[in-house]
Amino acid sequence: MRYLIISLFVCCTSCASYPKKQGLSPIVHTAQTVKNSYFSDTAKDYVYKANIMVYDHNFSGLFIVKKTSTNSHRVAFTTEMGNKLFDFSFTESDFKINYILDELNKKMLINILKSDFQTLTHENFKVSQVFTKQDDLVFKSMVNNKHYYLYKENELYKIIRTNKTKEKVVFTYSEINNSFANNIIIEHKNIKLNITLKSISQ
């Protein structure tokens, strides 16, 4: 009986919703949208020194993001010598592959990168629920799967994509100044894929 109770407790704990597991407290809030201001300036080219680790492969080079119009971005990754590894275009409703290296041209990887870079560049998401945790204000959005946007002192410093109970991808922003993050880490929890970005322009 004791083992049965322990097993039931472990099962209930593991099946708890993500907000409950993270100790997020729901609150009443008037926000209808959440804004991601990074990569929102059409007059700026965002250039980062990048490292992408995909399973046992390591790619280094330059990661460039350009907001090309109100609702569109272009994202490219090149070697430091200027050779393209991939080049994607995004709008709110469309995704286009302008170029991708044969070694990276795998449907599953493309879908993952598409989802990551849409989260990275998309500016406005509808809010479905709001939480607090210590000094953080946390906005939940159901657009493109479940995302939690974590703000501290009105500054977005983390985005977490989840399933019902677990983190799938974590976007962490640091050294932030005037809606510009000098460092960005995209960490996948369920596959061996991590992207590290360090700004070389501002």
For residues 11 and 15, what is the distance between their CA atoms, to the nearest angstrom?
Answer: 6
Report in angstroms the alpha-carbon separations of 197 from 36, 81, 94, 139, 184: 17, 18, 25, 24, 5
* Per-residue pLDDT at 106: 92
pLDDT tier at 201 (50, 70, 90 boundaries)? low
* Per-residue pLDDT at 33: 86
pLDDT tier at 167 (50, 70, 90 boundaries)? very high
Instruction: Tell which wins on pLDDT, 12 or 192.
Output: 192
Helix H or strand E encompassing 117: helix 107-121
Cβ–Cβ under 8 Å, residues 78 and 52: no
- Provide, rounded to the nearest whole percent, the portion of the chain with pLDDT above 70: 91
* Per-residue pLDDT at 202: 57
- Report the greatest alpha carbon distance in the chain: 66
* 22 Cβ contact partners less than 8 Å away, ≥ 6 residues apart: 133
Report in angstroms the alpha-carbon separations of 56 from 53, 80, 178: 7, 21, 36
pLDDT tier at 87 (50, 70, 90 boundaries)? very high
Whether the per-residue pLDDT at 7 is higher than 90: the answer is no
* Per-residue pLDDT at 57: 85
* pTM of the complete model beyond 0.75: yes
Cβ–Cβ under 8 Å, residues 98 and 88: yes
* Per-residue pLDDT at 50: 96
The closest alpha carbon to 171, from 33, 71, 19, 38, belongs to 38
Whether the per-residue pLDDT at 16 is higher than 80: the answer is no
Domains within the chain, CATH numbers bracketed: 17-199 (2.50.20)
Mean pLDDT, the chain, as a whole number?
87
Instruction: Tell which wins on pLDDT, 185 or 18.
Output: 185
User: Looking at residues 54-78, what average pLDDT do you find?
Assistant: 92
